């Protein structure tokens, strides 16, 4: 395998604070009063020893308590790192701890050498088995790897799908080496829980392992450097799925709060909270590749109940569909002013609705049109019949340079997406992809959506009634819990997240409630929509409908770039 030289690899280092390490060790049960000397703990990416030092201190204390000689602990720990400097530093720190505990220099050096390996954890062939796996796995996008290295990882670790970060492979390998009853405790970016690339890992966990506790720590000062990692502490086990504790923390959360939260996790209480956290105990967890929700524990519990009682949008009948608008691959060529002097055949212009046309929360007068290479049956038109369209498109070199054009030169004039027959004529609810709050807009028919818009069509719904439900903070809560939040609080309103929204069947909504939903939608009254939606869902009390304070400060039309890439731990 060809591997890039170490000095060419961008490692980046994110060191975990000591109290966070102590918390994870407590959660997995690696404590000094337990006989951990008879167990094996694995640290997949040791860095400079942020996890290792507390681990060895607990191991030494446990050995002393249980009368186990230090020299016999050769199989108690196994750590890995690709950087020789990290291996050297970690061995020195471990040896120092062991000598302070009474080990001779020779024993300390030998144990440090035995425990810490200069090797690739994902390619290790040692037949390793573990009772505990803990750490902060590296955050490296697979596209940043050497091509051969990436191919080798993907071939070995089947959960590394799509644009997965390398930590997905670390999760898979760590789970597969757990002995029965063994536990994994990671602090890691939580995007895999709510992105497509994490689906295979979620399925693996749901089929073979158990989620024990999940702590969302997005705003917690968990690392030595200031980073944008969206971290979560996740404890998984090689056992049958049982109860799950879910915690949401805030920026004040610290070690004293963590100690209180650990007591809650180890209790049988249904819920508890402290100054910096709130927690709830769920009876089970989500199975298969489905997205995992985030947010407050009470919200997750309520969403779980709603999911049991109500169908998704596309399950409500009436040919209800969620889709994304059209991508051209060369907007500058295909999108023109509707009332301009573009020299193309008139029947090749299709009125287009853009994100700017709904940004205010209402439909403005769309002013753009698509140069449409598709006929009413969804087939590409013959260029010989439309020479003016051909000339207009060829005036833009980007059209021919697109992959879709190079792949099929005879169909070079096609847009990336096909114009689906009949979509433009259908009434539809439009949703802007990036926005702070869910804001459905009715388009009564006549326009085709651009690809920055998602849309809902249905013959079974009065779209204004459905619009009222989607305007409510209940629908917002589904998106907040399952979707990806970008920096600044902006949410993605993509189809995969819209499909998580549960709604009452249209025929089950009483006429007076439907009327209230419709009126709230027409007046863009989110509060009234929420109250009416509560009636439709038969919710009598719920913290779910309270708007997150940070979103109240966000203007409706503000958009943000993608958040900074998650930092990379030493690997």
Rounded average pLDDT over 478-486: 82
pLDDT of residue 209 exceeding 70, the answer is yes
pLDDT of residue 554 exceeding 60, the answer is no
pLDDT at 196: 87
pLDDT of residue 218 exceeding 90, the answer is no
At 384-399, the pLDDT tens digits run 999 999 999 999 999 9
pLDDT classification of 566: cutoffs 50, 70, 90: very low
pLDDT at 48: 85
Rounded average pLDDT over 236-265: 95
- Superfamily designation of domain 16-309: Vaccinia Virus protein VP39 (3.40.50.150)
**Between 8 and 143, the higher pLDDT residue:** 143
pLDDT at 399: 96
pLDDT at 229: 62
Q: Across-strand partners of 133?
A: 42, 184
pLDDT of residue 227 exceeding 70, the answer is no
pLDDT classification of 488: cutoffs 50, 70, 90: low
pLDDT at 568: 33
**Cα separations in angstroms, 508 against 214, 419, 503, 519, 544:** 36, 34, 10, 18, 22
Of 156, 284, 290, 181, give the one whose Cα is nearest residue 239.
Answer: 181
pLDDT of residue 39 exceeding 50, the answer is yes
Domain with CATH 3.40.50.150 in the chain: 16-309
Long-range contacts of 104-110 (CB under 8 A, 24+ apart): 107/70, 107/71
When mean pLDDT is compared over 143-147, 228-232, 465-469, 496-500, the highest value belongs to 465-469
Compute φ and ψ for 368, nearest 5 degrees: -115, 160
At 525-545, the pLDDT tens digits run 999 999 999 999 999 755 454
Rounded average pLDDT over 513-523: 98
At 117-146, the pLDDT tens digits run 999 999 998 889 999 999 999 888 777 888
Of 484, 502, 328, give the one whose Cα is nearest residue 398.
Answer: 328
Averaged pLDDT score across all residues of the chain: 89
pLDDT of residue 11 exceeding 80, the answer is no
Would you list the DSSP string of 341-375? Answer: ---S-GGGEEEEE-GGGTTTSS-----EEEE--B-
Is the whole model's pTM more than 0.85, yes or no?
Answer: no
Match 């056992």 to its residue by tokens: 239
Choice among 194-208, 264-278, 282-296 with the minimum mean pLDDT? 282-296
Rounded average pLDDT over 195-206: 94
pLDDT of residue 565 exceeding 90, the answer is no
pLDDT at 542: 55
pLDDT classification of 567: cutoffs 50, 70, 90: very low
pLDDT of residue 361 exceeding 90, the answer is yes
Tokens of 383: 């260029």
- Centre a 10 Å sphere on the Cβ of residue 308 and count the other Cβ atoms it contains: 8
**Category of 348 on φ-ψ map: left (φ > 0), alpha (ψ -120 to 50) or beta:** alpha
């Amino acid at each position: 395998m060809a591997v890039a030289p170490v000095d060419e690899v961008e490692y980046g280092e994110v060191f975990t604070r000591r109290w966070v390490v102590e918390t994870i060790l407590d959660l997995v049960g690696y404590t000094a009063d337990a006989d951990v000397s008879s167990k094996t703990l694995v640290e997949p990416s040791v860095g400079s020893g942020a996890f290792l030092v507390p681990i060895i201190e607990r191991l030494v204390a446990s050995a002393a308590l249980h009368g186990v000689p230090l020299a016999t602990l050769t199989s108690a720990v196994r750590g890995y790192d690709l950087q020789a400097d990290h291996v050297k530093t970690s061995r020195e720190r471990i040896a120092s701890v062991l000598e302070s505990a009474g080990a001779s220099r020779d024993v300390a050096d030998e144990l440090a050498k035995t425990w810490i390996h200069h090797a690739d954890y994902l390619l290790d062939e040692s037949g390793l088995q573990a009772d505990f796996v803990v750490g902060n796995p590296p955050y490296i996008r697979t596209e940043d790897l050497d091509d051969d290295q990436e191919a080798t990882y993907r071939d070995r670790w089947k959960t590394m799908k799509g644009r997965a970060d390398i930590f997905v492979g670390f999760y898979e390998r760590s789970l597969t080496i757990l002995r029965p009853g063994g536990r994994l405790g990671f602090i890691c970016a939580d995007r895999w829980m709510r992105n497509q690339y994490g689906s295979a890992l979620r399925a693996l966990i749901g089929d073979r392992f158990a989620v024990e506790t999940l702590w969302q720590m997005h705003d917690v000062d968990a690392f030595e450097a200031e980073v944008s990692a969206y971290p979560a502490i996740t404890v998984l086990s090689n056992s049958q799925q049982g109860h799950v504790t879910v915690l949401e923390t805030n920026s004040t959360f610290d070690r004293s709060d963590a100690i209180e939260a650990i007591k809650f996790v180890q209790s049988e209480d249904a819920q508890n909270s402290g100054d910096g956290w709130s927690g709830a105990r769920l009876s089970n967890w989500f199975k298969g590749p489905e997205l995992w929700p985030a947010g407050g524990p009470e919200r997750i519990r309520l969403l779980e109940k709603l999911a049991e009682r109500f169908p998704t949008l596309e399950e409500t009948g009436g040919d209800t569909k969620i889709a994304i608008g059209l991508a051209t691959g060369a907007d500058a060529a295909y999108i023109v002013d509707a009332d301009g002097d573009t020299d193309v055949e008139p029947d090749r212009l299709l009125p287009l609705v853009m994100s700017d046309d709904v940004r205010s929360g209402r439909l403005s007068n769309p002013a753009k049109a698509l140069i449409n290479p598709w006929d009413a049956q969804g087939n590409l038109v013959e260029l010989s019949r439309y020479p003016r369209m051909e000339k207009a498109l060829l005036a833009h070199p980007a059209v021919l340079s697109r992959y879709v054009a190079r792949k099929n030169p005879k169909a070079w004039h096609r847009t990336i997406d096909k114009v689906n027959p009949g979509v433009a004529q259908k009434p539809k609810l439009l949703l802007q992809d990036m926005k702070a709050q869910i804001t459905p807009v009715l388009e009564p028919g006549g326009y085709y959506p651009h690809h920055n818009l998602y849309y809902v069509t249905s013959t079974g719904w009065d779209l204004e009634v459905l619009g009222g439900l989607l305007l409510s903070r209940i629908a917002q809560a589904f998106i907040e819990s399952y979707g990806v939040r970008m920096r600044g609080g902006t949410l993605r309103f993509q189809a995969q997240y819209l499909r998580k929204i549960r709604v009452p069947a249209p025929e089950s909504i009483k006429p007076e409630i439907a009327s209230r939903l419709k009126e709230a939608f027409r007046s863009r009254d989110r509060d009234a929509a929420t109250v009416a939606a509560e009636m439709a869902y038969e919710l009598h009390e719920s913290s779910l409908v309270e708007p997150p304070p940070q979103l109240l400060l966000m203007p409706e039309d503000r958009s943000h770039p993608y958040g900074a890439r998650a930092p990379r731990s030493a690997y």
